[in-house]
């Protein structure tokens, strides 16, 4: 069996930064450190951080007063930030800088008087946080069909922003629909969507041209992983989303001459190799990696940790 790995795949800079944030906080402040929501959408990662002393909660009310509270990579609302300050929590913001960029775009448009549309998935933590970061009404649009139902004053200036983990193709379709209905609408170019989302989607499209089956390693609640599976399926290739090798069903790959493997931005390489190991138990494997874009993006730690690290260096004789 030929097993072909997509390139790039797996962790992006925002996920690496979020995980590093929790680990640095644990080393600096000791246990426990509280994390609001899953730091990233991956059970393997979350369980690993739990083992180091991180405690995951859904609401800040579960965090003791004066404790360290970390916000996940998906971002939080202004109300959550205000609650943390009011309760005296030592808050550390691990929001991905590219998500923060969307927040800033939205606030700039709102400040200029634009009616704002957010393209995203209702209930996703990133969308919930973005809606709560903009001090103005925001209309959520999830599909091209939603665009037809919008009731907006024709004279109102209109702008859009997007969830970072959506499919570029899906986003472009919705933007096109908005531009047809509202020719004066403004917004960021689709190239401004998360670089990791674009790169992984491009890679899975190329992978789908060379394999019979695509296995996407990632969590079921990972939006970007779900999009990768959908893109492979749209290319006419059987595709499955699995968290680890134990979930692989032999029937999926029994007649496949070539199996493609990729991973969502929150899936660690260890889980990719776990899936490859499961394939090796079914057949002798020839393992190849597609040539693809190399990523060298690195995001700095949150300012709270960076400042503490700098102070510690100064205090060290």
Q: What is the pLDDT of residues 20-59, one digit of tens each?
A: 999 999 999 999 999 999 998 899 999 999 999 999 999 9
Q: Which helix (H) or strand (E) holds 17?
A: helix 13-29
What gap in Å lies between CA 109 and CA 161, rounded to an integer? 9
Same domain, 113 and 78: no
Please check the confidence at residue 312 and state whether its pLDDT lies above 70: no
Domain boundary among 176, 192, 208: 192
Please check the confidence at residue 316 and state whether its pLDDT lies above 90: no
Same domain, 138 and 71: no
Please check the confidence at residue 285 and state whether its pLDDT lies above 90: yes
pTM of the model: 0.89
Instruction: Specify whether the CB–CB gap between 231 and 204 falls below 8 A.
Output: yes
Same domain, 6 and 29: no
**At 216, which CATH number?**
3.40.1010.20
Question: Is 294 inside a domain boundary?
Answer: no
Question: Is 221 inside a domain boundary?
Answer: yes
What's the pLDDT band for 237 if we cut at 50, 70, 90? very high
Please check the confidence at residue 131 and state whether its pLDDT lies above 70: yes
Task: Determine what percent of the chain falls in helix, strand and coil, rounding each to the nearest 5.
Answer: 45, 15, 40
58 is catalytic: no
Closest of 279, 286, 269 to residue 214, by C-alpha: 279
Question: Is 170 inside a domain boundary?
Answer: yes
- pLDDT for position 167: 75
Residue 110 is part of which domain span? Answer: 98-192
User: 187-191, 225-229, 239-243, 292-296: which range is least confident on average?
Assistant: 187-191
Please check the confidence at residue 14 and state whether its pLDDT lies above 70: yes
Total number of domains in the chain: 3
- pLDDT for position 311: 61
Domain boundary among 173, 192, 211: 192
What gap in Å lies between CA 159 and CA 110, rounded to an integer? 9
Residues in the chain: 317
Q: Mean pLDDT for the chain? A: 92
56-86 pLDDT, tens digit per residue, is 999 999 999 999 999 999 999 999 999 999 9
Say what percent of the chain tops pLDDT 70.
96
Question: Is 27 inside a domain boundary?
Answer: yes
Same domain, 64 and 128: no
Instruction: Specify whether the CB–CB gap between 299 and 97 falls below 8 A.
Output: yes
Active-site residue, from 59, 83, 104, 126:
126
Domain boundary among 192, 214, 240: 192
User: 12-21, 182-191, 266-275, 280-289: which range is least confident on average?
Assistant: 182-191
**At 21, which CATH number?**
3.40.50.11270
- pLDDT for position 156: 86
- pLDDT for position 65: 92
Q: Is 35 helix (H, G, I), strand (E, B) or coil?
A: strand
Question: Is 130 inside a domain boundary?
Answer: yes
- pLDDT for position 315: 53
Q: Mean pLDDT across the stretch 277-294?
A: 95
Instruction: Specify whether the CB–CB gap between 91 and 72 falls below 8 A.
Output: no
What gap in Å lies between CA 262 and CA 196, rounded to an integer? 13
Residue 277: count of CB within 10 angstroms of its CB: 13
């Amino acid at each position: 069996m030929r097993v072909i790995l997509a390139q790039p795949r797996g962790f992006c800079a925002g996920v690496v930064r979020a995980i590093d944030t929790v680990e640095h906080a644990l080393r600096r402040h000791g246990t426990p450190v509280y994390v609001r929501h899953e730091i990233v959408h991956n059970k393997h990662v979350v369980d690993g951080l739990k083992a180091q002393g991180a405690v995951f909660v859904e609401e800040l009310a579960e965090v003791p007063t004066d404790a360290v509270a970390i916000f996940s990579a998906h971002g939080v609302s202004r109300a959550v930030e205000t609650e943390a300050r009011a309760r005296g929590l030592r808050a550390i913001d691990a929001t991905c800088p590219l998500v923060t960029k969307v927040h800033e775009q939205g606030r700039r448009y709102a400040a200029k008087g634009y009616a704002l549309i957010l393209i995203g998935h209702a209930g996703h933590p990133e969308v919930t946080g973005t809606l709560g970061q903009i001090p103005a009404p925001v209309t959520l649009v999830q599909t091209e069909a939603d665009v037809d139902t919008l009731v907006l004053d024709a004279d109102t200036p209109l702008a859009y922003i997007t969830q970072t983990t959506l499919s570029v193709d899906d986003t472009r379709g919705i933007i096109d629909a908005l531009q047809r209905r509202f020719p004066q609408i403004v917004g960021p170019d689709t190239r401004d969507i998360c670089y990791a989302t674009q790169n992984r989607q491009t890679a899975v499209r190329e992978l789908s041209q060379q394999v019979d089956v695509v296995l996407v390693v990632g969590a079921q609640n990972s939006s970007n992983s779900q999009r990768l599976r959908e893109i492979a399926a749209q290319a006419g290739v059987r595709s499955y989303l699995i968290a680890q090798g134990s979930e692989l069903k032999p029937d999926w790959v029994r007649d496949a001459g070539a199996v493609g493997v990729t991973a969502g931005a929150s899936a660690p390489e260890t889980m990719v190799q776990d899936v490859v190991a499961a394939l090796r138990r079914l057949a002798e494997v020839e393992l190849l990696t597609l040539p693809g874009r190399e990523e060298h993006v690195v995001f700095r730690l949150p300012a709270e940790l960076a400042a503490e690290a700098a102070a510690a260096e100064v205090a060290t004789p």
